[in-house]
Amino acid sequence: MTEQAPGKVDMEKIVSLCRRRGFIFPSSEIYGGLSSCWDYGPLGVELKQNIKQAWWRAVVQERDDIVGLDASILMHPQTWTASGHLQGFADALVECKNCHLRWRSDDLTGNNCPSCGGELTEPRLFNLMFKTFMGPVEEMANVVYLRPETAQGMFVNFQNVVNTTRKRLPFGIAQIGKAFRNEITTGNFIFRSREFEQMEIEFFIKPGTDEEWFNYWLEERVNWYVKLGIKRESLRLRPHTKEELAHYARVCYDIDYLFPMGWAELEGIANRGDFDLVQHASFSGKSLDYFDEETKEHIIPHIIEPSAGVDRTFLALLCDAYDEDIAEGEKRVLLHLHPDLAPIKVAVLPLSRREKLAAVAKELYADLRQCWMANYDDAQSIGRRYRRQDEIGTPFCVTVDFQSLEDNQVTIRERDSMKQIRVTIAELKKTLQAKLEGEDLFVLPPGGSIWKEGESS
Ligand code: ATP
C-alpha cells in the first residue's frame, strides 16, 4: 500500500467527518481508547445497518438459492482444529530489538524496523485467534475461541440447512456477523481492526462447475458495489499468487478498492473446493455429503466463498461518496451516498421557529418518520441546515415556509444538484418515495412545480 493514492480524499478528512458528525468514535474513548477498536455512533449505526440490509436483500431476499443463518460466535474448539485455524491461521511476526514494536513480516519491504530503523528478530508465527475460557475454570480443557471468520458456522450447519430447507445444489448460505482477529499491525482507521463484521456467502456447488460459479460470483459481487455507487474505476480484481493462497483455497481473487492509502482488499472470493466439508466430516465423524438425485451418487459439494467486510465497505463507501464543492460562495462538504444507504433519508426544515410553521412541520415530520429515518432541524439559517444535511448525505430536505400555510405546499430540495421542486403536502410522501427509488427530481406529481433556482424557498 502506498501513503496516499493520487486524486483520493485523504483519510484525515474521513476520520474527522466521522468524528464530528457521529459516524465513528474510538472505543472506550474516556479511558484513552482501545487500540484498533471502534464504536459506531448514531449516524454510523444507520449506515452500517443499511449496508448490511442492502447485502442481505441482494443475496438472500431477492434470490431463491441462498438462505440466511446466524450462528454463534463461540463454537466447539474442534471446529478450529478441523478448519486448520489452530495450526495455520498465523502471521509471521518480527520484533524490533531496539524499540520492541512488532510488525507483520509480509508488510515490510526492508530488513529494518520502519519506525526506528533498528534490527529485527527472525520471524515467529503468531496465531491470530483470540482465546477465552468457557465456564469458571481457566484451564486448557475450557478454552474456546472468538471466531476469526463467520464461515465455519455455515459449514458445520450444512446438513441442518439441507435437511430443513430441502435446497438442492447449487445453493448457498449467507451470514453477517462479528469476527475477531488479534492482528499484529492494525490501522488505517476501520480498515484493519481486531473486532469487525463480515458478510459471507458459502455457495455449495457440484464438483466440476467451480470455474463457472467462481466467475459468476466475481461479476455479481463487483456489480453489487457499483450499484451502490462505488465508481468502477476505484475497484479492481486481483488474483492471489500461489504463495499468498490460504491453506483451504484452490483459487482466490480479491476485490480491491482504491482507498486513500492505496489499493487494498475489500472482499475475497475463494474456491475452497471440498476442503471444509471433508475436514468437518472427518473430525466430527458425521456425514456431510450430499445425495445427487440426478446421478444417484453421494458427493461432497465444492464451495465458492464471497467474503466481504462490513467495516471496509463502510470506509470505501464514505471515501467514494466524499466530495467538496462551492455553494453560495462557501465550501460545501457532501456525501453522495446512494439513497438506500444514507443514514437519514429526509430532513424537515421549517423556515422559522414560529408556532404556526412549526406545527405544520412537526406534523409532517411525524408522518414521514413512519416511513424513513428522518431529521427535524430548526436551528440556525436554512443554508446552514442544508449544509449539515449535505455533509451526512441526506438525499432530500423538505422545507416548510410561510406560503405553505396558505397553499399547503412545501419544497423538496435535492442534495447533489441543490435543485428544488414544490409539491402539495398530499403528494409529498408518494413523491419522496419515487425520488428515493431513483426517479428524476423534475418528474412532477399533480400540482407540483419547479421551484426557483437557489436555496431559500
Ligand atoms: P487481509 O489480507 O487484509 O488481512 P484477509 O485476506 O485476511 O484480509 P479474509 O480472511 O479474506 O481477509 O476476510 C474476508 C474479509 O473480511 C476481508 O476482505 C475484509 O473485508 C474483512 N476483514 C478481514 N480482516 C479484517 C480486519 N482485521 N478488519 C476489518 N475487516 C477485515
Does the beta carbon of 265 sit less than 6 angstroms from any atom of ligand 1?
Answer: yes
Does the beta carbon of 305 sit less than 6 angstroms from any atom of ligand 1?
Answer: no
pLDDT reported for residue 111: 84
Model confidence at 2, pLDDT cuts 50, 70, 90, reads: very low
pLDDT reported for residue 440: 96
Helix (H, G, I), strand (E, B) or coil at 63: coil
Helix (H, G, I), strand (E, B) or coil at 29: helix
pLDDT (mean) for 130-154: 91
pLDDT reported for residue 428: 98
pLDDT reported for residue 132: 94
Contact 396, 421 (CB under 8 A): no
Crossing angle of helices 425-436 and 355-368, in 10° steps, is 40
Among 409, 394, 388, smallest CA distance to 451 is for 409
From ligand 1's centre to the CA of 315, what distance in Å?
Answer: 13
pLDDT in tens, 74-132: 999 999 999 999 887 767 788 888 887 878 887 788 888 888 899 888 887 778 899 99
Q: How many CA atoms lie within 13 A of 451 on its CB side?
A: 23
From the CA of 264, give the closest atom in ligand 1: 3
- Cα-flanking dihedrals φ and ψ of residue 36, to 5°? 55, 30
Does the beta carbon of 195 sit less than 6 angstroms from any atom of ligand 1?
Answer: no
pLDDT (mean) for 197-209: 98
Model confidence at 1, pLDDT cuts 50, 70, 90, reads: very low
Give the closest residue (by CA) to ligand 1 atom 25. 192
Does the beta carbon of 301 sit less than 6 angstroms from any atom of ligand 1?
Answer: no
From ligand 1's centre to the CA of 4, what distance in Å?
Answer: 21
DSSP per residue over 72-108, as a string?
Answer: -SB--THHHHHHSHHHH-EEEEEEBTTT--EEEGGG-
pLDDT (mean) for 9-35: 95
Calculate the average pLDDT of the chain: 93
Give the closest residue (by CA) to ligand 1 atom 12. 268
pLDDT in tens, 359-372: 999 999 999 999 99
Give the closest residue (by CA) to ligand 1 atom 4. 192
From ligand 1's centre to the CA of 288, what distance in Å?
Answer: 27
Pocket test for ligand 1, best of 146, 152, 198 (most atoms within 8 A of CB): 198
Peptide bond into 170 cis (omega under 30): yes
- Sign of the dihedral through C-alpha 188, 189, 194, 199: negative
CA dist 437 and 424 (Å) reads: 19
What residue has cell string 477498536? 37
pLDDT reported for residue 457: 44
From ligand 1's centre to the CA of 85, what distance in Å?
Answer: 15
pLDDT (mean) for 50-79: 97
pLDDT (mean) for 169-195: 93
Give the closest residue (by CA) to ligand 1 atom 19. 309
- pLDDT at residue 399 tops 80: yes
Does the beta carbon of 422 sit less than 6 angstroms from any atom of ligand 1?
Answer: no
pLDDT reported for residue 140: 80
Model confidence at 4, pLDDT cuts 50, 70, 90, reads: low
- pLDDT at residue 5 tops 80: no
From ligand 1's centre to the CA of 261, what distance in Å?
Answer: 16
pLDDT reported for residue 137: 81
Does the beta carbon of 269 sit less than 6 angstroms from any atom of ligand 1?
Answer: no
Lowest mean pLDDT among 133-142, 153-162, 266-275, 286-295: 133-142
Contact 318, 336 (CB under 8 A): no
Model confidence at 454, pLDDT cuts 50, 70, 90, reads: very low
Give the closest residue (by CA) to ligand 1 atom 29. 192
